Amino acid sequence: MRLNICKILYFLKRTNGNSLMEFAVTTAMMAILAATAAPKLSMLSENAKMQKSRNELDKISRQALSFFQERASIEGRGRFPGQEKYNVPVTGSAYTNSNVANHKTSILSDLITNGGSFNDYRASNGSNWVSVFGQTNSDFPKPDGSTLAADDAGNFVGKNEWIGLFGGEPLGSPFQDGHYVYQVVAGSGAGSKAESPILYLADLENPAQLHFIVQP
Protein backbone atom coordinates (compact mmCIF):
# COMPACT_ATOMS: atom_id res chain seq x y z
CA MET A 1 0.00 0.00 0.00
CA ARG A 2 2.82 2.33 0.95
CA LEU A 3 4.56 1.52 -2.35
CA ASN A 4 1.48 2.34 -4.40
CA ILE A 5 1.06 5.69 -2.66
CA CYS A 6 4.69 6.54 -3.36
CA LYS A 7 4.25 5.67 -7.04
CA ILE A 8 1.17 7.85 -7.28
CA LEU A 9 2.91 10.77 -5.58
CA TYR A 10 5.90 10.38 -7.89
CA PHE A 11 3.62 10.32 -10.94
CA LEU A 12 1.74 13.44 -9.82
CA LYS A 13 4.94 15.30 -9.18
CA ARG A 14 6.32 14.35 -12.58
CA THR A 15 3.07 15.32 -14.35
CA ASN A 16 2.89 18.67 -12.59
CA GLY A 17 6.50 19.32 -13.48
CA ASN A 18 5.90 18.56 -17.13
CA SER A 19 2.78 20.74 -17.20
CA LEU A 20 4.63 23.69 -15.75
CA MET A 21 7.46 23.23 -18.20
CA GLU A 22 5.06 22.96 -21.12
CA PHE A 23 3.23 26.04 -19.92
CA ALA A 24 6.48 27.98 -19.71
CA VAL A 25 7.55 26.88 -23.20
CA THR A 26 4.12 27.69 -24.66
CA THR A 27 4.15 31.11 -23.02
CA ALA A 28 7.61 31.84 -24.40
CA MET A 29 6.57 30.75 -27.89
CA MET A 30 3.46 32.93 -27.74
CA ALA A 31 5.55 35.91 -26.69
CA ILE A 32 7.93 35.34 -29.61
CA LEU A 33 5.05 34.98 -32.06
CA ALA A 34 3.40 38.13 -30.73
CA ALA A 35 6.62 40.12 -31.03
CA THR A 36 7.12 38.86 -34.58
CA ALA A 37 3.53 39.42 -35.68
CA ALA A 38 3.05 42.89 -34.16
CA PRO A 39 4.96 44.83 -36.87
CA LYS A 40 3.17 42.88 -39.62
CA LEU A 41 -0.22 43.54 -38.06
CA SER A 42 0.67 47.21 -37.73
CA MET A 43 1.68 47.33 -41.39
CA LEU A 44 -1.57 45.63 -42.41
CA SER A 45 -3.51 48.19 -40.39
CA GLU A 46 -1.67 51.11 -42.04
CA ASN A 47 -2.21 49.63 -45.50
CA ALA A 48 -5.91 49.23 -44.76
CA LYS A 49 -6.11 52.89 -43.70
CA MET A 50 -4.33 54.00 -46.87
CA GLN A 51 -6.76 52.03 -49.02
CA LYS A 52 -9.70 53.46 -47.10
CA SER A 53 -8.38 57.00 -47.63
CA ARG A 54 -7.92 56.38 -51.36
CA ASN A 55 -11.50 55.11 -51.54
CA GLU A 56 -12.74 58.27 -49.86
CA LEU A 57 -10.69 60.46 -52.19
CA ASP A 58 -12.19 58.57 -55.10
CA LYS A 59 -15.71 59.32 -53.79
CA ILE A 60 -14.87 63.01 -53.48
CA SER A 61 -13.43 63.01 -57.01
CA ARG A 62 -16.56 61.43 -58.47
CA GLN A 63 -18.81 63.94 -56.75
CA ALA A 64 -16.58 66.78 -57.98
CA LEU A 65 -16.91 65.60 -61.59
CA SER A 66 -20.67 65.30 -61.24
CA PHE A 67 -20.77 68.83 -59.80
CA PHE A 68 -18.60 70.12 -62.67
CA GLN A 69 -20.92 68.68 -65.30
CA GLU A 70 -23.99 70.02 -63.54
CA ARG A 71 -22.49 73.52 -63.34
CA ALA A 72 -21.60 73.34 -67.03
CA SER A 73 -25.27 72.71 -67.83
CA ILE A 74 -26.54 75.47 -65.55
CA GLU A 75 -23.81 78.13 -65.78
CA GLY A 76 -22.48 77.49 -69.27
CA ARG A 77 -18.98 76.51 -68.08
CA GLY A 78 -18.04 73.81 -65.62
CA ARG A 79 -16.37 74.64 -62.32
CA PHE A 80 -15.42 72.83 -59.13
CA PRO A 81 -16.76 73.53 -55.62
CA GLY A 82 -15.41 76.81 -54.30
CA GLN A 83 -14.55 78.30 -57.69
CA GLU A 84 -16.18 81.64 -58.44
CA LYS A 85 -15.82 80.87 -62.16
CA TYR A 86 -14.07 78.21 -64.22
CA ASN A 87 -11.05 80.52 -64.64
CA VAL A 88 -10.62 81.40 -60.94
CA PRO A 89 -8.35 79.21 -58.77
CA VAL A 90 -8.94 77.89 -55.26
CA THR A 91 -5.73 78.16 -53.27
CA GLY A 92 -4.12 79.84 -50.32
CA SER A 93 -1.42 81.30 -52.54
CA ALA A 94 -1.50 84.35 -54.80
CA TYR A 95 -1.84 82.41 -58.05
CA THR A 96 -4.42 83.64 -60.55
CA ASN A 97 -5.52 82.56 -64.00
CA SER A 98 -2.60 84.54 -65.43
CA ASN A 99 0.06 82.24 -63.97
CA VAL A 100 -1.51 78.80 -64.26
CA ALA A 101 1.80 77.15 -65.16
CA ASN A 102 3.46 78.35 -61.96
CA HIS A 103 0.50 77.18 -59.91
CA LYS A 104 0.68 73.70 -61.46
CA THR A 105 4.42 73.53 -60.83
CA SER A 106 3.94 74.44 -57.18
CA ILE A 107 1.32 71.74 -56.63
CA LEU A 108 3.29 69.08 -58.49
CA SER A 109 6.29 69.93 -56.33
CA ASP A 110 4.14 69.21 -53.28
CA LEU A 111 2.73 65.93 -54.59
CA ILE A 112 4.90 64.36 -57.27
CA THR A 113 8.23 65.98 -58.23
CA ASN A 114 11.11 64.03 -56.62
CA GLY A 115 8.61 62.04 -54.60
CA GLY A 116 6.72 65.11 -53.40
CA SER A 117 7.78 67.45 -50.61
CA PHE A 118 4.39 67.58 -48.86
CA ASN A 119 4.61 64.35 -46.84
CA ASP A 120 3.53 65.40 -43.36
CA TYR A 121 0.43 67.12 -42.00
CA ARG A 122 2.61 69.65 -40.14
CA ALA A 123 4.55 70.75 -43.24
CA SER A 124 4.40 74.41 -44.22
CA ASN A 125 3.17 73.38 -47.69
CA GLY A 126 -0.28 73.19 -46.14
CA SER A 127 -0.60 76.98 -46.17
CA ASN A 128 -1.51 76.77 -49.88
CA TRP A 129 -4.14 74.06 -49.40
CA VAL A 130 -7.79 74.55 -48.48
CA SER A 131 -9.90 72.23 -46.34
CA VAL A 132 -12.55 70.35 -48.31
CA PHE A 133 -15.19 70.24 -45.58
CA GLY A 134 -13.92 73.10 -43.41
CA GLN A 135 -11.11 73.36 -40.88
CA THR A 136 -13.42 73.48 -37.90
CA ASN A 137 -15.94 70.93 -39.11
CA SER A 138 -17.41 69.42 -35.95
CA ASP A 139 -17.14 65.86 -37.26
CA PHE A 140 -13.68 65.99 -38.81
CA PRO A 141 -11.69 69.13 -37.87
CA LYS A 142 -8.16 69.68 -39.14
CA PRO A 143 -5.50 68.08 -36.91
CA ASP A 144 -3.67 70.14 -34.31
CA GLY A 145 -0.29 71.31 -35.54
CA SER A 146 -1.33 71.61 -39.18
CA THR A 147 -1.35 74.86 -41.15
CA LEU A 148 -3.93 75.35 -43.89
CA ALA A 149 -5.16 78.26 -45.97
CA ALA A 150 -8.29 79.98 -44.71
CA ASP A 151 -11.52 78.20 -45.62
CA ASP A 152 -12.72 79.21 -49.04
CA ALA A 153 -15.19 82.12 -48.98
CA GLY A 154 -17.02 84.19 -51.56
CA ASN A 155 -20.19 83.84 -53.58
CA PHE A 156 -19.67 80.08 -53.72
CA VAL A 157 -18.32 78.83 -50.39
CA GLY A 158 -16.30 75.71 -51.07
CA LYS A 159 -16.91 73.82 -47.83
CA ASN A 160 -20.67 74.37 -48.12
CA GLU A 161 -20.76 73.13 -51.70
CA TRP A 162 -18.66 70.10 -50.80
CA ILE A 163 -20.81 69.18 -47.79
CA GLY A 164 -23.93 69.65 -49.92
CA LEU A 165 -22.62 67.03 -52.36
CA PHE A 166 -22.60 64.49 -49.53
CA GLY A 167 -26.00 65.28 -48.11
CA GLY A 168 -24.57 67.16 -45.15
CA GLU A 169 -22.37 64.23 -44.13
CA PRO A 170 -18.66 65.08 -44.61
CA LEU A 171 -16.08 62.37 -45.16
CA GLY A 172 -13.23 61.94 -42.70
CA SER A 173 -9.78 60.47 -43.13
CA PRO A 174 -9.17 57.16 -41.33
CA PHE A 175 -5.87 58.58 -40.05
CA GLN A 176 -5.67 60.40 -36.73
CA ASP A 177 -3.76 63.26 -38.40
CA GLY A 178 -5.58 63.08 -41.71
CA HIS A 179 -7.88 65.69 -43.23
CA TYR A 180 -9.05 66.16 -46.82
CA VAL A 181 -7.68 69.24 -48.59
CA TYR A 182 -7.72 70.59 -52.12
CA GLN A 183 -6.58 73.19 -54.61
CA VAL A 184 -7.99 74.11 -58.00
CA VAL A 185 -5.82 75.40 -60.82
CA ALA A 186 -7.86 77.85 -62.88
CA GLY A 187 -9.17 76.98 -66.31
CA SER A 188 -8.21 79.23 -69.18
CA GLY A 189 -8.88 80.13 -72.80
CA ALA A 190 -12.07 79.90 -74.79
CA GLY A 191 -13.53 77.91 -77.63
CA SER A 192 -11.22 75.30 -79.12
CA LYS A 193 -8.34 76.62 -76.97
CA ALA A 194 -10.18 76.35 -73.68
CA GLU A 195 -8.61 74.33 -70.87
CA SER A 196 -10.74 73.11 -67.99
CA PRO A 197 -9.69 73.73 -64.39
CA ILE A 198 -7.75 71.00 -62.56
CA LEU A 199 -8.75 69.72 -59.14
CA TYR A 200 -6.07 68.38 -56.78
CA LEU A 201 -7.31 66.44 -53.75
CA ALA A 202 -5.16 65.04 -50.94
CA ASP A 203 -5.21 63.54 -47.47
CA LEU A 204 -3.24 65.71 -45.07
CA GLU A 205 -1.76 62.59 -43.45
CA ASN A 206 0.65 62.35 -46.38
CA PRO A 207 -0.43 64.28 -49.50
CA ALA A 208 2.55 63.04 -51.52
CA GLN A 209 1.26 59.47 -51.14
CA LEU A 210 -2.47 60.08 -50.90
CA HIS A 211 -3.81 62.35 -53.64
CA PHE A 212 -6.08 62.43 -56.67
CA ILE A 213 -5.87 64.70 -59.71
CA VAL A 214 -9.08 65.44 -61.60
CA GLN A 215 -9.35 67.26 -64.92
CA PRO A 216 -12.57 66.88 -66.93
Mapping DSSP onto H, E and C, the string for the chain reads: CHHHHHHHHHHHHHHHHHHHHHHHHHHHHHHHHHHHHHHHHHHHHHHHHHHHHHHHHHHHHHHHHHHHHHHHHHHCCCCCCCCCCCCCCECCCCCCCCCHHHHHHHHHHHHCHHHCCCCCCCCHHHHHCEECCCCCCCCCCCCCCCCCCCCCCCCCCHHHHHHHHCCCCCCCCCCCCCCEEEEEECCECCHHHCECCEEEEEECCCCCCCEEEECC
Q: Give the CA dihedral 114, 120, 123, 128, nearest 10 degrees.
A: 80
pLDDT at 157: 96
Q: Among residues 180, 165, 88, which one has the least CA distance to residue 134?
A: 180
φ, ψ dihedrals at 209, nearest 5°: -95, -30
Each residue's pLDDT expressed in tens, for the chain with a length of 216 residues: 555 555 544 554 554 555 666 666 667 667 676 666 566 656 667 899 999 999 999 999 999 999 999 999 999 999 999 999 999 999 998 887 778 999 999 999 999 999 999 999 999 999 999 999 999 999 999 999 999 999 988 899 999 999 999 999 999 999 999 999 999 999 988 877 889 999 999 999 999 999 999 999
How far CA 153 is from CA of 97, 120, 159, 161, in Å, comes to 18, 26, 9, 11
Which burial class, exposed, middle or buried, applies to 77 when counting CB atoms under 10 A from its CB (0-12, 13-18, 19+)?
Answer: middle
User: pTM for this one?
Assistant: 0.80
Amino acid identity for residue 180 in this structure: Y
- Cα separation values, 184 from 47, 64, 125, Å: 28, 11, 15
Question: Which pLDDT score is estimated for 96?
Answer: 77
Farthest CA pair distance, the chain:
111
β-strand partners of 203: 180
